[in-house]
Amino acid sequence: MTSTPDFLSHLNPSQRQAVEHFCGPLLVVAGAGSGKTRALTYRISNLVLTHRINPENILAVTFTNKAAKEMKARIEKLFADRIAQEKHGKPLDLLAPYEQTKLRSHVYKTITKPLWIGTFHSLCARLLRMEIHKYQDEQGRKWERNFSIFDESDVQSLIKDIVVNKLNLDDRKFPPRSVRFAISNAKNQGWSPDELEANQQDFRGRVIAEVYRAYQDGLAANNALDFDDLIRVLVLLLKQNEQTLAYWHQQFHHILVDEYQDTNRTQYDMLSLLATNGADAKTFKSWQNRSVFVVGDADQSIYSFRAADFRILMGFQQDFGDDLPDDDTRTMVKLEENYRSTENILQAANVLIDNNTERIDKVLKPTRGKGEPIYCYRADDELQEADFVVGQIRQLEQQHPEVQWGDFAILYRTNAQSRAFEETLVRWAIPYTVVGGLKFYDRREVKDILAYLRLIVNPADSVSLKRVINTPRRGIGKTTMDRLTQAAQELGVPTWEILSDEATVKTLASRGSRNILGFVDMIRLWQSQVDTLPATEIIQGILDNSGYIRNLQDQDTDEAEDRIGNVKELYNAAQQFAEENGDDSLLSFLANAALASDADDKEDSTTVSMMTLHSAKGLEFPIVFLVGIEQGLFPNFRSLDDPAALEEERRLCYVGITRAQERLFLSHARERRLYGSREPAIPSAFLSELPRDLIETNTPTAIPSQGIEMFSSAPPQKKLPNTNARDWAVGDRLVHKGYGLGEVTHIFGAGNKICLAVKFPNLGKKIIDPNITVLERV
């Protein structure tokens, strides 16, 4: 085998330097699309091929399981190609199918399978499967190797059990989800229950520490770990057991990490322990036959809400390289050419990110032609936006024989935005995949509300009944429900019939009977409205009165907020369906929803990809649609008065733009349906930061000009002061510019994320967000 394999000719000199760097720490920093992931992949190949490193001695961390799979596939192909060349004098693709399979399976067995490639979580789980019996927590509890990994619903029910049954607390005051969130935060800080308790001043905090303690007991009793524990426990285990640490330190000669800018403290601890055997990374001297190789781009750090910290990337050289000669180039390589995007796209991205103050300037040069202009479309509303995007997809696919569905990606800021696009794609029978998430109608919260609706129109639907009777929790236990279900089965009637018989309920469900009867009354009320009220009103009734939204609001997490967005989007779906079909009945809407959820899942390569911007990190697509670029949506509300958060939103926009290879389409709407009412929307400030000469538009107002002026071309809007829940009360009277005089009948939400239900004498009830609509109090 030659010392410089020819596959390295697919790399530029800086990439090559990174790939060929053999031992010691190395940081590769570079902008998007500059071939960082490629360098990392080639480096693994080169370690095995040129340096004859045993694949078992290589540990590579990727950001998603999908990325791990892709990386393995790429490495496998590289190897198979190389062996094909050496043995048969031609590339793999030109071998007979039988030879190809044989060769691939040989490469799989000897090279890719033994490699340790995966996400932090999957790698830690794998290590714990071998080592966890050596771990002991501060209470002396131990775990077996066949431990379970509890998913979110297991975790919730354990916590709920502790709150209600063990500690006799009210789960409305201590909702399992918010308790879970607090525990998760403590774990991410590396705190034990005692440490959490020591850091709490108030009663609530101390109770949560108490739940945390009992929760760890519960996990141990079940021989289980939760997701947060996987990394934390491994770190503790390695710190506790010198021999074990020494063993794995010895095993992993070469450690590689992709997307290093999104690493958090615990993950960093794990890496540095393994790399240095617990020595101070700064003074660690034994780099002779080992390396730590990390690649990242601080401009793409977008996970600070999960405790990721890009200063870990910035500190890499200091942390790992202090005793090396004071020569930057030995511990850092910069890549400066972008191979992914056309010059126009790249320039737009570079100019945008330059508006961030908290960054290190870097060079990112185009290597491709100028390309087509970027196109920015201003739609009337979100439906027209979806029509535009899907229309473009159809047109491009038809006009260019080489273009396939898999070449397109639709990227959005929040999950709820996917619905309008999904429905339009379904209408045109275009296959699509929601990457890193569920399709709209498969999402848990959407299914929950649909189950309420199904139960309302069809009380015999015991599956839906079971799904919602204790969602949100109403103190109706599983045993009680089992008893009632069994009674129903014995009598051969639907469970609902048993539930609607007060005497039977009182006998069979003594403690929970009041809760059950309350639930039955609530459903009965909606059942009585089915023939007279439109679907939207019934949905709104559920959202207001079932406690579903309140439960989510109490959790006050990003995830809960996303779920609230989806639930409200279901209201929009019903409204849109009624408008388009002139039929506002709940039954018709349910039939439509059942059809929409039935779209097939196909292979990624033959489907349009849809995903949030967060899920798009590291990926690339020939044609990208970046949609909903409006103030308050992207950048999102919470970032508008928080400069650091706004910079993170801008980084997210940079990630979005740099996913595109050939074509980039941007879009936003003049008004957007927000929980029923149409609200004017303002184009995002990010649009005004892009170089105008690179962008074509459908109307001159599609791109606002910079600064204050940008608001003048938009609908008459001022930037509004942040309105808080405290500023409004039920009964307040106000004037809305379009609707006239109205009265507040309900306030949804909490803090500064609220919506008002306002009754207007001639128009009925409208839901209005006071943070984006001017309301004058009278």
Query: Catalytic residue at 659?
Result: yes
Query: Distance between CA atoms of 672 and 565, rounded to whole angstroms?
Result: 13
Q: 659, 663, 670, 672: which one is catalytic?
A: 659
Q: Under the criterion CB under 5 A, does residue 37 sit at the interface with Mg ion?
A: yes
Site for ligand ATP in 287-326 (CB under 6 A): 297, 300
CA 376, 381, 382, 387 torsion: positive or negative?
negative
Nearer to Mg ion, 257 or 465 (CB): 257
Q: Which span (8-16, 320-328, 515-523, 678-686) binds ligand ATP, by CB under 6 A?
A: 8-16
Pick from 607, 459, 437, 594: nearest CA to 527: 459
Q: Which span (35-43, 418-426, 590-598, 725-733) binds ligand ATP, by CB under 6 A?
A: 35-43
Q: Is 745 left (phi over 0), alpha (psi -120 to 50) or beta?
A: alpha
Query: Distance between CA atoms of 536 and 549, rounded to whole angstroms?
Result: 16
Query: Catalytic residue at 197?
Result: no
Angle formed at CA 145 by CA 144 and CA 150, multiple of 5 degrees: 85
Nearer to Mg ion, 72 or 253 (CB): 72
Residue 23 in tokens: 């031992």
Q: Which whole-number Å values give the CA distances from 756 to 299, 671, 724, in the listed order? A: 37, 18, 11
Nearer to Mg ion, 36 or 766 (CB): 36
Pick from 433, 453, 449, 436: nearest CA to 599: 433
122 binds, among ligand ATP, Mg ion, none (CB under 5 to 8 A by kind): none
Rounded to the nearest whole angstrom, what is the least distance from the CB of residue 106 to Mg ion in the complex? 28
H or E stretch covering 211: helix 203-221
Site for ligand ATP in 338-377 (CB under 6 A): 339-340
Rounded to the nearest whole angstrom, what is the least distance from the CB of residue 657 to Mg ion in the complex? 15
Nearer to ligand ATP, 13 or 325 (CB): 13
Q: 37, 267, 471, 723: which one is catalytic?
A: 37
Nearer to Mg ion, 115 or 468 (CB): 115
CA atoms within 13 A on the CB side of 445: 24
Query: Distance between CA atoms of 623 and 660, rounded to whole angstroms?
Result: 6
573 is in an annotated binding site: no
Query: Catalytic residue at 701?
Result: no
Q: Under the criterion CB under 6 A, does residue 15 sit at the interface with ligand ATP?
A: yes
Among 36, 249, 378, 736, binds ligand ATP (CB under 6 A): 36
33 is in an annotated binding site: yes
Rounded to the nearest whole angstrom, what is the least distance from the CB of residue 115 to ligand ATP in the complex? 18
Query: Distance between CA atoms of 538 and 723, rounded to whole angstroms?
Result: 28
Query: Distance between CA atoms of 305 and 698, rounded to whole angstroms?
Result: 36
Rounded to the nearest whole angstrom, what is the least distance from the CB of residue 658 to ligand ATP in the complex? 6
Q: Under the criterion CB under 6 A, does residue 33 sit at the interface with ligand ATP?
A: yes
178 is in an annotated binding site: no
Query: Catalytic residue at 777?
Result: no
Q: 285 and 323 in contact (C-beta within 8 Å)?
A: yes
Pick from 74, 46, 78: nearest CA to 62: 74
Closest residue to ligand ATP, judged by C-beta, is 35
The residue whose two tokens read 């040989």 is: 106
565 is in an annotated binding site: no
The residue whose two tokens read 């998007």 is: 32
What's the distance, Cα to Cα, between the start and end of the chain in Å?
A: 84
35 binds, among Mg ion, ligand ATP, none (CB under 5 to 8 A by kind): ligand ATP
Residue 407 in tokens: 């070449």
Q: Under the criterion CB under 6 A, does residue 650 sit at the interface with ligand ATP?
A: no
Rounded to the nearest whole angstrom, what is the least distance from the CB of residue 655 to ligand ATP in the complex? 7
Binding mask 609-648 for Mg ion (x = CB under 5 A): ---------x------------------------------
Q: 300, 433, 576, 658: which one is catalytic?
A: 300
Q: Which whole-number Å values give the CA distances from 139 to 136, 214, 220, in the listed order? A: 8, 11, 10
Site for Mg ion in 17-36 (CB under 5 A): 36
Query: Distance between CA atoms of 232 and 143, rounded to whole angstroms?
Result: 14
Positions marked active-site: 36-37, 258-259, 300, 659
Sites of contact with ligand ATP (CB under 6 A): 10-12, 15, 30, 32-38, 297, 300, 339-340, 618, 620, 658
